[in-house]
Amino acid sequence: MFIIRKEQVLELDRQMMEKFVRMAVLHLRKMFPVLLAGEQDEPIVARVRSGVTKAEKYGVTEIPDVLYYLECMVRYGDDFDIHPPVPVIARTLRTRNFSGTQKMDKIKKLQQA
What is the average per-residue pLDDT within 67-76?
A: 95
pLDDT, tens only, 103-112 = 999 999 988 7
Tell me the Cα Rg of the chain.
16
Q: For the chain, what are the domain ranges?
A: 7-112
Whole-model pTM: value is 0.89
Q: Quick check: 86 pLDDT over 90? A: no
Q: What is the largest CA-CA distance in the chain?
A: 57
Q: Span 91-96, mean pLDDT? A: 94
- pLDDT tens for each residue of 53-69: 999 999 999 999 999 99
Report the C-alpha gap between 87 and 89 in whole angstroms: 5
- d(CA 96, CA 75) in angstroms, rounded, equals 25
Cite the DSSP H helix spans in the chain. Answer: 6-31, 41-57, 63-76, 87-94, 100-112
